[in-house]
Structure 1
Amino acid sequence: MMASINSENKTNSKNLFPKSADCSYVSCYCEENVFKLCEDVTKRYPGEIQNCSVVFVSNARRKVPLWKQRAGKDEEKLVIWDYHVIFLYHPEPQKCLVYDLDSDLPFPTYVHKYITETFRTDQILKPDYFRFFRVVSAKEFLNNFSSDRRHMKRPDGSWIKPPPNYGPITNSNNPHNLEEFIQMEPAKGPGEVLSLTQFVQKFYKPAT
């Protein structure tokens, strides 16, 4: 898979992240992992940030099944997250790559393969488990996202999962707006909210 991606690279697209092992990663902090990917692009390929998007995956019940996740215990690597966050690079209309540091798939993976392997179809799920997608431009995400990590603390103040070794990502306007990105009401929050079908139609453009 990686060989085919490299062989199809064109002059107007970049190999943004050569190795997943070189990326900032902390388990259960997917939104911050993606934030660091966005920062890395602005430092190394600033002109490409306009071709990048951040996608939050969740639903009203906060129960979204995703396959091929490293945290999965069964053969199909199925996990039911409350939410998940991925990074998209779409330098051309018919080329979109997904970067998911929690995935068991190659890094990156073409969007069609990622969707097929990770989301599959809503037709096999009860409506409560349908996945929705809040798509935000990477630049907007960098400018507006803020998290003091309160969602990762128990009532007694202890950590549910150890935090990253760098400080919280916050801005002066709002110390914590993660919930605005996770909730999937279309009329609220940044970016746009899509169904799985709409997400496929937006980012998968087969060659004609």
Structure 2
Amino acid sequence: MGQISTAHNPDAEKQKLIQRVTKNFTNDYHVLFLYHPDDRCLVYDLDSELPFPTYFHKYVTETFRTDQILKPDYFRYFRVVPAPVYLQNLASDRRHMKRSDGTWIKPPPDYNCIKTATCSHNLEDFISMDPSRGFGEVLNLTQFVKKFYQQ
């Protein structure tokens, strides 16, 4: 079974984080694919410096520090969405790739925007860590590790 995880990850050590900075506010999110067909979970992270794919245990131990050394504002949270739900529902009109004046931060991809039959933009529902919003479930780091770590 595959899962898509969007991580609110303000302190990753071995990742190139995707960042949006607006004035003094930083909003970090990072998308991973976790594949766990049997007894081992693999992480597919296009932005990691670790091997591709990497076993979940290696990924977690080499990417994240414990939350115990962080202030609560910097705890990591993960929105875990089953891959079919993600693929059927994600929609983005690329507004997050534009400045407030409407110009592109970087040139957009040459393929069409991702949309569904009923929605043109719901990216915030996938990156929000508010458990009452969006698809899937929101987990803290400990819950995330317990869910996917398999010996």
- Fold agreement, TM-score > 0.5: yes
Higher helix share: 1
Q: What's 1:190 paired with?
A: 135
1:174 to partner: Cα distance: 1.3
1:158 to partner: Cα distance: 1.2
Q: What's 2:45 paired with?
A: 100
The C-alpha deviation readout for 1:99-140, integer Å capped at 9, x for no partner, is 000000000000011011112211121111111011001000
Q: Name the larger-Rg structure.
A: 1
Q: What's 2:56 paired with?
A: 111
Q: Secondary structure at the match of 1:193?
A: strand
Q: Give structure 1 regions of 4+ aligned residues with deviation exceeding 4 angstroms.
A: none
Where does structure 2 lack aligned partners over 5 or more consecutive residues?
A: 18-25
Residues paired across the two proteins, number: 144
The C-alpha deviation readout for 1:20-78, integer Å capped at 9, x for no partner, is xxxxxxxxxxxxxxxxxxxxxxxxxxxxxxx11100111xxxx622111246xxxxxxx
The C-alpha deviation readout for 1:139-186, integer Å capped at 9, x for no partner, is 000100000010110122111122222111111211100000111111
1:187 to partner: Cα distance: 2.0
Question: Which amino acid letter does the alignment assign opposite residue 53 of structure 1?
Answer: Q
User: What is the rounded CA distance, in whole Å, between the counterparts of 2:6 and 2:15 in structure 1?
Assistant: 16
Identity %: 63
Where does structure 1 lack aligned partners over 5 or more consecutive residues?
A: 1-50, 72-79
For 1:57-206, list aligned pairs within 5 A: 57-58=7-8, 64-70=10-16, 82-92=28-38, 94-206=39-151
Q: Using CA pairs under 8 Å that are at least 6 residues apart, name the structure with larger relative contact order, 1 or 2.
A: 2
Higher strand share: 2
User: What is the rounded CA distance, in whole Å, between the counterparts of 1:103 and 1:164 in structure 2?
Assistant: 21
User: What is the rounded CA distance, in whole Å, between the counterparts of 2:41 and 2:78 in structure 1?
Assistant: 16
Q: Secondary structure at the match of 1:188?
A: coil
User: What is the rounded CA distance, in whole Å, between the counterparts of 1:124 and 1:161 in structure 2?
Assistant: 35
Q: Secondary structure at the match of 2:116?
A: coil
8 Å Cα contact 1:66-1:81 kept in structure 2: no
